[in-house]
Chain A
């Protein structure tokens, strides 16, 4: 997971909530087209790490770079203003555990909202892309429905399409299937597998070991706010070196 021009580089990130250190000195890189799965018990800091990458949570220390550009803090060490941070955030797509679709907008409007309002790209072009994305996630017939009328699996596929509509350099998934009924997990994972194969750069916090085994280039195992072990999926999942990884995997399987 080290490459000369990583899409994402995280160096020495730590974060505490009060006395509770949730991330301690986390460093890693994600290369272009790579899919990284982050595993670990709940409370291990996986989601906080993901949220620090686009500064939904502000790291206490550490540097984050997206395609070589600093996120959150300028190279001069100054915290960015909202506007500048927002511009960088448009290049990092995010898929949420509880979907977080905008309830007042239709499916198609959800996809078009940020590209039109924030990126200010031509509307006709955005619309064409959005319709193509809906076709890709198999929801063309739902374009005029409101999110409240969709099943969980459909909502999450809209969530993924909404993130893709921004043409992001990096896609973050925060436990994208954890809130779904078991029978709906498959349809979302199928879309994600397809994305990974098409060369999207993805970082996925998940409990789906099967998905990680099949799709991940790199698996990161976290515990108590630190990276315990990371490497190719076959190694970390197949022959973990660390005792903590071994016991986690045997408990989950």
Chain B
């Protein structure tokens, strides 16, 4: 057992590279997913029924696809429709689009729960369209949706492990390759789990900071 962990330790650089890739991938995917989600959220809240229905269909459709299948489609399927992406591009795109649907739904839920008065005050004070959203609606939205967004980030971290199947060199892929070469599955995978766990603890700490910011304003 100790020998197994010693082998993993000897290849810690590889594992840490994978870990760094996982962090990079998840942070970038979360940020882009939020940016992509914002206009989708606006569409979900639109007065215009066709726009609202289209956004609703996209979001619901996306949330009902298993992520693994979606990653397969983006990497192996998209070339058939003329979109060729390397494993990084495909992995990032899959993670981003898939989670943008969740983020849009999270933001919509928080928006509906937002007090109407404050938005109306924004309108009365001359805010409109994008400026109203960016300055008056979005900040309290992020504060109240913060914990749920953090929860989704943890989901993204776990989903990113699936990207090992398109040979993206993230943490699971690194652990998997170490274990298959030296046959140390227990040590390799437990080490990876510990790293995922540590990452999620950091996210939780971040969520707590956001929660305190929100509490001071509530």
Interface residues of A (CB under 8 A from B): 54, 56, 82-83, 85-87, 89-90, 92, 94, 96, 98-105, 113-114, 117-119, 146-149, 162, 166
A-B contact pairs, 28 of them (CB 8 A): A54-B124, A82-B128, A82-B129, A83-B128, A83-B129, A86-B127, A86-B128, A89-B124, A89-B125, A90-B125, A94-B124, A94-B125, A98-B117, A100-B115, A100-B117, A100-B120, A100-B121, A101-B118, A102-B122, A104-B143, A114-B127, A117-B127, A117-B135, A118-B125, A146-B216, A147-B217, A162-B125, A166-B125
B217 CB contacts on chain A under 8 angstroms: 103-104, 146-148
* A56/B118 contact (C-beta < 8 A), A83-B128, A104-B217 known: no
Taking the closest CB of chain B, its distance from the CB of A41, in whole angstroms, is 23
Interface residues of B (CB under 8 A from A): 115, 117-118, 120-129, 131, 135-136, 139-140, 143, 216-218
- Cα–Cα, bound, A15→B143 (Å): 37
**Which residue of chain B is the closest to A146 with respect to CB atoms?**
B217
- Cα–Cα, bound, A148→B140 (Å): 13
A100 CB contacts on chain B under 8 angstroms: 115, 117-118, 120-121
B139 CB contacts on chain A under 8 angstroms: 104-105
Is B129 within 8 A of A113, CB to CB? no
**Which residue of chain B is the closest to A82 with respect to CB atoms?**
B128
**Which residue of chain A is the closest to B119 with respect to CB atoms?**
A100
Taking the closest CB of chain B, its distance from the CB of A115, in whole angstroms, is 9
- Cα–Cα, bound, A224→B139 (Å): 40
Taking the closest CB of chain B, its distance from the CB of A70, in whole angstroms, is 17
- Cα–Cα, bound, A157→B218 (Å): 19
A166 CB contacts on chain B under 8 angstroms: 125-126
- Cα–Cα, bound, A118→B217 (Å): 23
**Which residue of chain B is the closest to A147 with respect to CB atoms?**
B217
List 17 additional A-B contacts (Cβ < 8 Å) besides A99-B117, A103-B140: A87-B126, A89-B124, A89-B126, A90-B126, A94-B125, A100-B121, A102-B136, A103-B217, A104-B217, A114-B126, A117-B135, A118-B126, A118-B131, A146-B217, A148-B216, A148-B217, A166-B126
Is B117 within 8 A of A119, CB to CB? no
Between B115, B120, B121, B140, the greatest number of chain A beta carbons within 10 A of the residue's beta carbon is seen for B121
- Cα–Cα, bound, A162→B140 (Å): 19
A101 CB contacts on chain B under 8 angstroms: 118, 121
Taking the closest CB of chain B, its distance from the CB of A90, in whole angstroms, is 4
- Cα–Cα, bound, A118→B132 (Å): 10
B129 CB contacts on chain A under 8 angstroms: 82-83
A114 CB contacts on chain B under 8 angstroms: 125-127
- Cα–Cα, bound, A83→B218 (Å): 31
- Cα–Cα, bound, A58→B48 (Å): 18
- Cα–Cα, bound, A103→B138 (Å): 12
B128 CB contacts on chain A under 8 angstroms: 82-83, 85-86
